[in-house]
Amino acid sequence: MVKQCFIVLITVVSTTYFNAQIIQIKEFAKVLCSKEFHGRGYVNSGDSIAAAYIQSGFEKNGIAPINGNYLQSFFFNVNTFPGNMEVIHNDKILKPGIHFMVHPSSKGGTINLVPKKIASVELLDKKILSSILENLYDDSVYNALLIDYTNVSNDTLKLLQPICEQLSSAFPVIEITNKKFTWSVSDIEFNNPYIQVQDSIYEANAPFQIAIDSKLIKRHRANNVIGIVPAKKKSDEFIVFTAHYDHLGQMGDSTYFPGANDNASGTALLLEMANKIQKKPLKINAVFIAFAGEEAGLIGSYYFVNNPIIDLKKVRFLINTDIMGSGEDGVTVVNATLHDKEFQILKNINNKKSYLKEIKSRGPAANSDHYWFSNEGVPSFFLYTMGPNKNYHDVFDTYENLSFSATENVFNLLYDFAKKITK
């Protein structure tokens, strides 16, 4: 009877601790997704607000800075949309992020657009395109180009997109599409406005009225946030946990991209991993890096690798978490084929404890912040969850749309993996 009570007590304590752990991960993610963080981008200093929040979390929970400073600053150019974001078509006010997107390199402007439609095949024929453009320069009716992408394959789109972007140097451009909107970040500004409109709202031959504010910020300052939990006993080796906290920010003064799955979820997991390891240090030093500038082209991780504050040759392994908000179908491990020994350790842990439905192997890819480290010979994994949540770089990637279905198991899998490879 005593033995049974003891087992029940241990189970209750473990469950209570873990529930508190999951609650904390969810709370981190919810805060990072909040409107007050402005999509963790470059309007209203959203990324700086997020960096300060992460730093305060490190300080509060005893995660120490390296060399006395949590922040590593770097600079880059970024095009932003801080104010008006209005598009009227056929007397209807279109909704940003739902009915239309502004191209991340678009210039702003207040203008009535009467677009001339160009077929996609005409874009690929230089003689026909040249003739159309020559006539358009002298045209008294049309002052913009409209390209209909609704029946265009993805392969053809790859050919057309650079052409359309070049055309924006001469005329405003409007794309009509029936594909899912995804936004991104640009470090340049076109000469003219460039918008993308869903075909479900488009009315042929109807004009567009736009009022869009844009601002190219030169030398925007961003910060990687870095903390360390020293080893139980003195060690010169490191295990590194990384996740990017930045996202796309705002498209106008009222539309923002929460970036819940990408990557408030991964950042939240990173923060709680730091807290757990701070309570139970590993046999080697654990470094935690929340990167800025990932959405702008892996800039923060590139800067760190070229200006390291730890010896990269002493890194035993790096674990990068990005898109951690689902997991119903398991996880994919980028670089699994490069590090088969470690991948088998990960799989063996999962087979023994049945954490996840599947751990899928993938080769090298330049798709997150692990890439520059891997390029420098640092053994690295990038893990992302698989599941029904397909919201990506859109306004629907919200905290409410995260399932957190595999949060417990992903967290425990990575913690067990970290302990195993740092013995």
Q: Do the domains 22-79+217-421 and 84-212 sit in the same CATH topology, yes or no?
A: no
Task: For residue 198, give the 3-state DSSP assignment.
Answer: strand
Q: DSSP secondary structure string, 14-45?
A: HHHHHHHHHHHHHHHHHHHHSGGGGGGSSSTT
Task: For residue 188, give the 3-state DSSP assignment.
Answer: coil
Task: For residue 316, give the 3-state DSSP assignment.
Answer: strand
Phi and psi of 397, rounded to 5°?
A: -80, 75
Evaluate if residue 8 carries a pLDDT over 50: no
**84-212 belongs to CATH 3.50.30:** yes
Evaluate if residue 1 carries a pLDDT over 70: no
Mean per-residue pLDDT, 62-86: 98
Question: Comparing 2-6, 32-36, 258-262, which segment has the lowest mean pLDDT?
Answer: 2-6
**Two tokens, residue 33:** 């997704």
If you average pLDDT over every residue of the chain, what do you get? 93
Q: DSSP secondary structure string, 274-309?
A: HHHHHHS--SSEEEEEEES-STTTSHHHHHHHHS-S
**Two tokens, residue 278:** 């701070």
**Two tokens, residue 376:** 């420098």
CATH number of the 22-79+217-421 domain: 3.40.630.10
pLDDT digits (tens, 9 = 90+) for 214-262: 999 999 999 999 999 999 999 999 999 999 999 999 999 999 999 999 9
> Do 420 and 278 meet the contact criterion of CB atoms below 8 Å apart?
no
Q: Which residue in the block uniquely carries the two structure tokens 């305060």? A: 56
Phi and psi of 342, rounded to 5°?
A: -70, -35
DSSP-assigned beta bridge partners for residue 87: 210
Q: Give the closest residue to 340 by CA, choosing from 348, 351, 331.
A: 348
Mean per-residue pLDDT, 9-36: 75
What is the amino acid identity at position 163?
A: I
Residue 219 pLDDT: 96
Give alpha helix (H) positions in 61-125.
Answer: 120-123
At CA 212, angle to CA 119 and CA 101, rounded to 5?
Answer: 50
Domain boundaries, the chain: 22-79+217-421, 84-212
Residue 18 pLDDT: 52
Alpha carbon distances (Å) from 207 to 91, 99, 201: 9, 15, 13
Mean per-residue pLDDT, 31-39: 98
Q: What percent of the chain has pLDDT over 90?
A: 85
Residue 218 pLDDT: 97
- Cα 199 from Cα 150, distance rounded (Å): 7
